[in-house]
A and B are shown apart, each in its own frame.
Chain A
Amino acid sequence: MKTNLFPAIKLTSITLVFFAGVYTIIIWGIAQLAPNHGNGEVVMQNGKKYYANVGQTFTEDKYFNSRPSAVDYNAAGSGGSNKAPSNPEYLATVQARIDTFLVHNPEVKKQDIPVELITASGSGLDPDISPNAALVQLKRVSKNRNISNEKLQKLIEENTEAPLLGLLGPAKVNVLKLNMALDGLKN
């Protein structure tokens, strides 16, 4: 035991300093060269600061709405609903979300509601929706803001991020950036 214990303690000490300390400082130092100096991607509008990658609650009719969230988009925490696909209580919640959506968007047919708008994300902070999920809300926003459909359609297209290299992964729309652009239209 003694032959192993002291070397183990000493090796632990030096590797602890190296892997928890030196490695962290190297990465921290390099991150200072990154945009926003390692603070995450920050965007500003009207003197207000937002995190571009952290989703926000958008429930008002004048904005493109974000997905439901199990943590109400408060990034002090994170997490999904963890509801089972068979959970009756959960299925009732989903049905209620569909009904609410139809009330707010009377011109939309039920079969056109994309599934992500009625299901919660894994992190509860999902910043994105699919281009379809933005388009399906177009008429509501257009009516609410008195902006033409064509103008909004163009705005959605401008804010649609193509797959990585045009080839890999899904296309998506960052809801925060889209709504910032929407508020920017007025000015």
Chain B
Amino acid sequence: MNTELFGIIAMFTLTIAFAIPFGKYIAKVYAGEKTSFDPVFNPIEKLFFKISGIDVKAEMNWKQHMFSLITINMVWFVLGMFVLMNQGWLPLNPDGNPGQTADLAFNTSISFVVNCNLQHYSGESGLSYLSQLFLMFLHFVTAGTGMAAAAVLFMALRERTTDKLGNFYHFLVKSCLRILLPLAIIVAIILAFNGTPMTFEGKDMIVNMQGDTVQVSRGPVAAFVAIKHLGTNGGGFYGANSAHPLENPNYLTNTVEMIAQLIIPFAMIFAFGFFLKRRKMSWMIFGVMTIGFLLLTVPTIIWENGGNHAITAMGIDNSAGAMEGKEVRFGTTASAFWSIATTVISTGSVNSMHDSYTPLSGMTQLLAMMTNAFYGGVGVGMLNFFVFIILAVFISGLMVGRTPELMGKKIEAREMKIAMIVALLHPFLILVGTALAAAFPTITSATLANPGFHGFTEMLYEYTSSSANNGSGFEGLGDNNPWWNITTGFVLILSRYIPIIGPIAIAGLLANKKFIPESAGTLKTDSSTFGIMVLAVIVIITALSFFPALTLGPIAEYFTLR
């Protein structure tokens, strides 16, 4: 038991220890300062921009940034549809897997372009190796997209009065090449040396010790799994994701994969402080996020170690906890820790099956995605949190009777309207989606794997995961059919681009405003008092929006099990 607890403490503290210097490196990269890796990356970067005919010195305003972002994302989507629907005859398909149907390809392509990685297929039978490698490309560039957007936010908050905020393509390539790639190589090598396959050969056939013939699916897994975590993408190579013993062979790889998914969301917060020279503010943000994270993690670990009461009642030794859907090599503690880490940041990779968690743990996983503000996905986590900061600044301003200001810029009606739209979009998409699914039981009830309240939670989870850009699932849901493929597809589009465009628009508007020097009357946005204010705003919005839905799902299920 104690070794299990030490395991997760080690994961968390190691991540912070790595993330602080790495955040400094990220800040240097975006600021265009010299780093020791320049001799390797400068020539590659130059080549990229020479071939694509892009002048990185041409700075963009926030609107031009967003147009570039949307355009290149559309190119990836169209290419994704083509590869996924035609993978049957395209090369690198040793297992002869067929092309995806149009609705599945639509969902898969969108889902990977928006960095969500909802998967309505299983990798072993649903994708060729070519498609896997294309999705791996999307792992890099979509993570880079979110990080580039965060870089624009950093620029906008640093500049005194300007509309020139750097070049989008430059931020994108820097993020992929200088930040993601070096870490991906390290992680992939560790995985390959611990038994994760990295081969282009197809399925192997073996006769097991009891004489049955079974197959073993292989592929270029190590390279894929490394970037799936670093980019907080989460889409697994195999159907079972990181619960699969080839994606995640032992406790060491589990630790490495956990650090890999947490490190950039952590480092981005510190990068924010280094870049803006507001290190106290980044500690305030990190503190609020960590409190939120622990409030969700600690009870989940306790509930999972407590096990399923219905099984305890059968009179067996239930001391290992709720082991349904979990792996022995990770144990319940590291599984429960992972389940909250993966849902607060938008990875959505799993090392255990969330559908089989005890009811209240299912609720904390949902809450992690519903708040969508603690750490968050690479880049976009900062954007989401920025919206809550704006709301908290505004409410605090009203409470003390002053014009709300953030970093020397006035927050006015236009910024507030945008922040409100972004904050309310998330509950709107989740609740309307779930309500629609519940309103058409003739279509959806056959797709549920479990009866009663838990069935409702499966639907709620699917839309929450889509809207939070997460991609994990209550995987019992039979989601490969037009209803789920298409409805979640649209939720994915709205919930990705509006929460990027909104905060960037606010930041762009703020950058253009006159700078007012701080005075004694200025609200201190880096104090712990303000941190509590932000946390309160997050909790109130989440509680008011989602409590009724949670009552119908996990809370009701909990009371049936007591």
Question: Using a CB–CB distance below 8 Å, which chain A residues touch chain B?
Answer: 1, 4-16, 18-21, 23-24, 26-28, 30-31, 34-41, 48-60, 63, 67, 73-88, 90-91, 94-95, 98, 110-116, 118-130, 132, 163-164, 166-172, 176, 179-180, 183
Q: Let me know if B53 and A86 touch, CB within 8 A.
A: no
Q: List 28 A-B contacts (CB under 8 A).
A: A5-B71, A7-B54, A11-B172, A12-B72, A12-B141, A15-B140, A15-B173, A24-B136, A30-B189, A40-B195, A52-B195, A53-B249, A67-B328, A78-B122, A80-B352, A81-B325, A81-B353, A83-B355, A83-B476, A85-B557, A86-B452, A95-B314, A98-B316, A113-B317, A122-B326, A122-B351, A123-B240, A169-B254
3 tightest A-B contacts by CB? A82-B476, A122-B243, A31-B198
| Residue contact B79 to A168, C-beta cutoff 8 Å | no
A79 surroundings in chain B (CB, below 8 A):
122, 239-240, 353, 475
A44–chain B nearest beta-carbon distance, Å = 11
CA distance A169 to B61 in the complex (A): 49
Q: Which residues of A contact B323 (CB under 8 A)?
A: 115-116, 119, 121
Whether B216 lies near A75 (C-beta < 8 A) is yes
B4 within 8 Å of A by Cβ? yes
Check if B243 sits within 8 Å of A80, measured CB to CB: yes
Interface segment, one of B207-215, B463-471, B511-519, B532-540? B207-215
- A11-B173, A23-B223 are known; give 16 further A-B pairs, CB within 8 A: A19-B141, A24-B220, A38-B197, A53-B250, A57-B208, A76-B203, A76-B215, A80-B355, A84-B450, A115-B323, A119-B325, A122-B352, A123-B240, A130-B328, A164-B250, A168-B6
B210 lies within 8 A of A128 (CB): no
Shortest distance from the beta carbon of A166 to any chain B beta carbon, whole Å:
8
Question: Which partner residue on chain B sits nearest A25 by CB separation?
Answer: B223
B residues 215-247 in Cβ contact with A at 8 Å: 215-218, 220, 222-223, 226, 238-240, 243-246
Q: Is B169 an interface residue (CB 8 A)?
A: yes
Residue from A7, A57, A67 whose CB has the most chain B CB atoms within 10 Å: A7
Is there an interface contact between A20 and B136, defined as CB atoms closer than 8 Å?
Answer: yes
Whether the pair A123, B245 counts as a contact (CB closer than 8 A) is: yes
Contact indicator per residue, chain B 274-314, by CB within 8 Å of chain A (1) or not (0):
00000000000000000000000000000000011011001
Q: Which residues of A contact B488 (CB under 8 A)?
A: none
Q: For the complex, what is the distance from the CA of A23 to the CA of B223, rounded to whole Å?
A: 8
Whole-angstrom distance between the Cβ of A96 and the nearest chain B Cβ: 11
Q: Does B255 contact A (CB under 8 A)?
A: yes
Are the CB atoms of A169 and B330 closer together than 8 Å?
A: yes
Please tell me which one of the listed residues A1, A56, A126 contacts residue B208 in the complex, with CB atoms under 8 A apart.
Answer: A56
Assembled-state Cα–Cα distance A106/B485 (Å): 50
Interface membership of B449, Cβ < 8 A? yes
Q: Is the CB of A7 within 8 A of B326?
A: no
Q: Could you tell me which residues of chain B, from 312 to 371, have a CB within 8 Å of some CB in chain A? A: 314-331, 334-335, 350-353, 355-359
A11-B240 in contact (CB<8A) = no
- What residues on B are CB-neighbors of A34 within 8 Å? 192-193, 198
User: What is the chain B residue whose CB lies nearest that of A174?
Assistant: B329
A53–B452 CB distance below 8 A: no
List chain A residues, Cβ under 8 A from B76.
12
Contact: A169 with B218, CB < 8 Å? Answer: no
Cβ of B74: which chain A residues have Cβ within 8 Å of it? 8
Measured between beta carbons, the chain A residues less than 8 angstroms from B101 are none
Note all chain A residues with C-beta closer than 8 A to B550: none
Structural contact, B328 and A116, CB atoms closer than 8 A: yes
Q: How far is the CA of A5 from the CA of B72 in the complex (A)?
A: 7
Any A CB within 8 A of the CB of B68: yes
* Interface 9-mer from B157-165, B180-188, B375-383: B180-188
The listed residue with most B CB atoms (<10 A of its CB), out of A58, A74, A87, is A87
Residues on A with C-beta less than 8 A from B328 are 67, 116, 121, 126, 128-130, 170, 172
Taking a contact as CB atoms under 8 Å apart, the answer to whether B189 and A19 are in contact is no
CB neighbours (8 Å) of A23 from chain B are 140, 181, 184-185, 223
**Within 8 Å CB of B243, what residues of A?**
78, 80, 121-123
Interface SS majority for chain A: mixed
The answer to whether A39 and B245 touch (CB under 8 A), given A27-B192, A112-B317, A126-B328, is no
- Residue with the greatest number of chain B CB neighbours at <10 A, chosen from A38, A78, A111, A123: A123
A92 vs chain B, min Cβ distance (A): 11
Interface residues as binary, B445-487 with A (CB distance below 8 Å gives 1, 0 otherwise): 0000111111000000000000000000011100000000000
Q: Which residues of A contact B504 (CB under 8 A)?
A: none
CB neighbours of B6 from chain A (8 A)? 167-168
Tell which of B217, B245, B334, B449 touches A55, judged by Cβ atoms closer than 8 Å: B245
Chain A residue at minimum C-beta to C-beta distance from B254? A169
- Interface residues, chain B, with chain A CB atoms under 8 Å away: 3-4, 6-7, 10, 44, 47-48, 51-54, 67-68, 71-72, 74-76, 79, 122, 124-125, 133-134, 136-137, 140-141, 169, 172-173, 176, 181, 184-185, 188-189, 192-193, 195-201, 203-204, 206-210, 212, 214-218, 220, 222-223, 226, 238-240, 243-246, 249-252, 254-255, 307-308, 310-311, 314-331, 334-335, 350-353, 355-359, 449-454, 474-476, 557, 560-561
User: Does the CB pair A38–B199 fall under 8 Å?
Assistant: yes
What is the CA–CA distance of A51 and B307 in the complex, to the nearest angstrom?
A: 31
**A35 CB to closest chain B CB, in angstroms?**
7
How far is A80 from B326 in the complex, measured between Cα atoms in Å? Answer: 8
Partner of A58, one of B193, B210, B327, B449: B210
Query: Known: A27-B198, A112-B317. Contact between A50 and B209, CB under 8 A?
Result: yes
* Residue with the highest number of chain A CB atoms closer than 10 Å, among B44, B254, B450: B450
B239 surroundings in chain A (CB, below 8 A): 77-79
Docked CA distance A114–B53 (Å):
63
The distance in angstroms between the C-alpha atoms of A10 and B355, with both chains bound, is: 42
A122–B326 Cα gap in the complex (Å)? 5
Once bound together, how far apart are the Cα atoms of A81 and B201, in whole Å? 29
**Residues in B whose Cβ lies below 8 Å from that of A52:** 195
Closest to B68 in A: A4
A114 touches B140 (CB 8 A): no
Q: Are A110 and B316 neighbours in the complex by a CB distance under 8 Å?
A: yes
A74 touches B214 (CB 8 A): yes
> Are A85 and B310 closer than 8 Å at their CB atoms?
yes
Query: Measured between C-beta atoms, what is the minimum distance from B308 to chain A in Å?
Result: 4
Contact between B317 and A124, CB atoms less than 8 A apart:
no
A42 to chain B, nearest CB (A): 9
Q: Which residues of A contact B322 (CB under 8 A)?
A: 85, 115
Tell me if A81 and B324 are in contact (CB < 8 A): yes
Partner of B252, one of A55, A90, A164: A164
